[in-house]
Amino acid sequence: MQRDAKIYVAGHRGMVGSALVRRLQRAGFWNLVMRSSQELDLRNQAEVAAFFADEKPAYVFLAAAKVGGIVANNTCRADFIYDNLLINTNVIGQSHRHEVRKLLFLGSSCIYPKHAPQPIKEEYLLTGPLEATNEPYAIAKIAGLKLCEALHDQYGCQFISAMPTNLYGPGDNYHLQNSHVLPALLRRFHEAQVQKLPEVQIWGTGTPCREFLHVDDLADACLHLMLHYTGANPINIGTGLDISIRDLALLIKEITGYEGAIQFDYSKPDGTPRKLLDVSKMCRLGWGYTIALREGIEDVYRRDFLSKRTEKAGQKVD
């Protein structure tokens, strides 16, 4: 990509999109096109078509999506599949129609079967049932990557797909009901520490294992793929390391300085027992993560909870 190439970052205000913008700007790419959801509704085909006709971006990073944690995914199932199908179809379809040179579609590790062998290889896709709680979101993501794959095979479009593991980072969603596990735990332990609460309750048994990647590492990986990957098949992005929810809770307890007890609610669902990506393909492309989990969580905690300018970050997202 030339440094002056016009690049559209869809979802630039989100955690992933904003990290992509930071990484691209740091690499010297300056001709970035961005629209907020108020300026451009990606669910609206006519609006998206008009945007592509006017702007004619050469490259597209599709990071826009309706996202949420286990409660949101399981409660708003129709919204998650409907909105994400529309976003994916409109952006990818118009990218093809307006001859975008290269597009990177960001999927999710939840597209893989609930009981897939670990670590999860890309070829395990569609080999078994999905985790029920986030099935609608996963199906929409699978449809998006299959659309990229089909356009790649039929028309020669350089549309590639990346499957990131669980993400965290600056500007995450800290809503207690709609966020993912790591940011939700950060907020719970922070508030418990500030309010001197006697215990923190956590859903499930604490035994499921998850892999976590700092969003700045993801952004770096995405740029690496745009520059070095042309395959039709999706490619995993992660650390290749996982941690149990119990150990994650203990780590966050230590980082926040909370001194109370941890209580696991066994009546609540655990979700997928383990989700660890096989990142060997990404490693062979010459990329690896650089931000260790403790280092990343400490940095996020300082930025989003302890710094004066965002000292109320846990409350403002409600």
Q: What is the pLDDT of residue 315?
A: 42
Under-70 pLDDT residues of the chain: 308-318
Known catalytic membership, residue 137: yes
Query: Considering the domain boundaries, does residue 1 fall inside one?
Result: no
Query: Considering the domain boundaries, does residue 302 fall inside one?
Result: yes
* Distance separating alpha carbons of residues 178 and 318, to the nearest angstrom: 10
Q: What is the pLDDT of residue 176?
A: 74
The structural domain count of the chain equals 1
* pLDDT tens digits along 273-296: 889 999 999 999 999 999 999 999
3-state secondary structure labels for all residues of the chain:
CCCCCCEEEECCCCHHHHHHHHHHHHCCCCCEECCCCCCCCCCCHHHHHHHHHHHCCCEEEECCCCCCCHHHHHHCHHHHHHHHHHHHHHHHHHHHHCCCCEEEEECCHHHCCCCCCCCECHHHCCCCCCCHHHHHHHHHHHHHHHHHHHHHHHHCCEEEEEEECEEECCCCCCCCCCCCHHHHHHHHHHHHHHHCCCEEEEECCCCCEECEEEHHHHHHHHHHHHHHCCCCCCEEECCCCCEEHHHHHHHHHHHHCCCCEEEEECCCCCCCCEECECCHHHHHCCCCCCCCHHHHHHHHHHHHHHCHHHCCHHHHCC
Query: Considering the domain boundaries, does residue 261 fall inside one?
Result: yes
For the annotated binding site for substrate, the residues are 188, 203, 210, 270
Query: Considering the domain boundaries, does residue 2 fall inside one?
Result: no
For the annotated binding site for NADP(+), the residues are 11-17, 106-109, 141, 164-167, 180
Query: Considering the domain boundaries, does residue 100 fall inside one?
Result: yes
Query: Considering the domain boundaries, does residue 109 fall inside one?
Result: yes
Query: Considering the domain boundaries, does residue 44 fall inside one?
Result: yes
* pLDDT tens digits along 219-246: 999 999 999 999 999 999 999 999 999 9
For the annotated binding site, the residues are 11-17, 106-109, 141, 164-167, 180, 188, 203, 210, 270
Task: With 0.85 as the threshold, say if the pTM is over it.
Answer: yes
Q: What is the pLDDT of residue 135?
A: 93
Q: What is the pLDDT of residue 310?
A: 43
Domain containing 179 — which CATH number? 3.40.50.720
Residues of the domain holding 84: 7-316
Among 8, 137, 229, 289, the active-site one is 137
Q: What is the pLDDT of residue 309?
A: 40
